[in-house]
Amino acid sequence: MLLLPFRYRLSLLALLGSTFLMGFQGEPTPFNRLRSGLEYRIYRRENGRYVLRPALPPTGDPAYSTRVGRILSLHLEFRTATDSVLMHSRRQGGGQPVRVPLDTLRRQQGGSVEEALSLLQPGDSGVFRLNVDTVFAKSFRQPVPPFIRRAGPTLTVLAKAEKVQTEAEALQEVQQQAQLAQEQAKKQAAQQALKDDARIQAYLKQNKLKALKTPGGVYYVVTKASTGLKPKKGQTVSVLYKGLLLNGKVFDSSERNGNQPIEFALGTGQVIPGWDQGIAALNKGSKAILLIPSGLAYGPRGAGADIPPNAVLRFNVELVGVK
């Protein structure tokens, strides 16, 4: 995650998640309490089990000043008083930790999330029980959402601290993780492209279609030839279309929109890359079948309920106009 102020990174309006698997969950040990009213239990893993750390002074961790100005890397979970999960950083952040700047504000933030996290040292796991009104007033600067208030007067925060770093160290780690993620995404995209190509080839063979291929990887079958001019980048084209999955399911069409053609400026990113490539290969007045690999369509995320992840798409198109 980016190095942003803590309150901007957490979304308490996220969908309810599942349980946060921490070895100390369900521990009946009473909470310790700071002078501010913050209730806490802090554990450290020793010999394969979580051991409760001794209570801190009522004013907090006296060693906190040694961490001021650094970045705390940790995983977080927020729960309502009725134990509903509001935020789960491991699942919502792709497994990446939250990074929280440690500063002197925690002394003015009694009973806040910031004060709770200031008690943690690397390797600690903590359970914190906070007053919901205090948290939203001091940490999130907003009113308590009604569904959270209805759940009860407290908010529980579970945290697992990984490391404390300088800002430069944290930034370098974020950049390294981003680079690794990009490399992994490229590798997965290349593997998916080979799978998509094999699926298209099999589809062409099964349906006895002979196709041409654009330099970028879109297959197209001209079903009605035309002597019209091919459109150029930047020109506005008008296209009638029907979009299908390879199993024949229709997910969109001009017919659903009053049989009106879609208009867009070619090659400017207003449509999926497969359309920019496929339409550019056609003559005005021609009809064709476009077979578009997922990497040139909606990729691993898919689109809505009708287009699943990594879907190869078929479009029956007619290039009716070029302006």
Q: Where are the domains of the chain?
A: 6-165, 191-322
pTM above 0.95, yes or no: no
Of the pLDDT bands very low, low, confident and very high (cuts 50, 70, 90), residue 145 is: very high
Question: Residue 203's pLDDT is what?
Answer: 97
Q: What is the pLDDT of residues 28-54, one digit of tens each?
A: 678 999 998 999 999 998 888 889 999
**Assigned token pair, 118:** 């200031």
Residue 6 has pLDDT above 50, yes or no: no
Average pLDDT over residues 69-79: 93
As a CATH number, domain 6-165 is 3.10.50.40
Distance CA 281, CA 266 (A): 11
Residue 105 has pLDDT above 60, yes or no: no
In the chain, % of residues over pLDDT 90:
69
- Mean per-residue pLDDT, 290-306: 94
Looking at residue 28, what is its pLDDT? Answer: 60
Give tens-digit pLDDT for 232-276: 999 999 999 999 999 999 999 999 888 899 999 999 999 999 999
Distance CA 12, CA 119 (A): 22
Highest mean pLDDT of the ranges 45-54, 80-89, 279-288: 279-288
Which amino acid makes up residue 284?
A: K
Q: Do domains 6-165 and 191-322 have the same CATH topology?
A: yes
> Which amino acid is present at 97?
P
pLDDT of amino acid 94: 73
CATH assignment, 191-322: 3.10.50.40
Q: How confident is the model at residue 218 (pLDDT cuts 50, 70, 90)?
A: very high
When pLDDT is cut at 50, 70 and 90, the band that residue 122 belongs to is very high
The amino acid at residue 74 is L
Round the average pLDDT of the chain to a whole number and report it: 87
130: pLDDT confidence band, cut at 50, 70 and 90? very high
Q: Is the pLDDT of residue 104 over 80?
A: no
User: What is the DSSP secondary-structure string of 121-182?
Assistant: -TTEEEEEEEEHHHHHHHTS-SPPPHHHHHH-SEEEEEEEEEEEE-HHHHHHHHHHHHHHHH
Mean per-residue pLDDT, 121-132? 94
pLDDT digits (tens, 9 = 90+) for 165-215: 999 999 999 899 889 989 998 999 999 999 999 999 999 999 999 999 999
Q: What is the pLDDT of residue 169?
A: 93
Integer CA distances (angstroms), 180 to 96, 171, 185, 276, 300, in order = 12, 14, 8, 30, 18
Among 136, 166, 158, CA closest to 149: 136
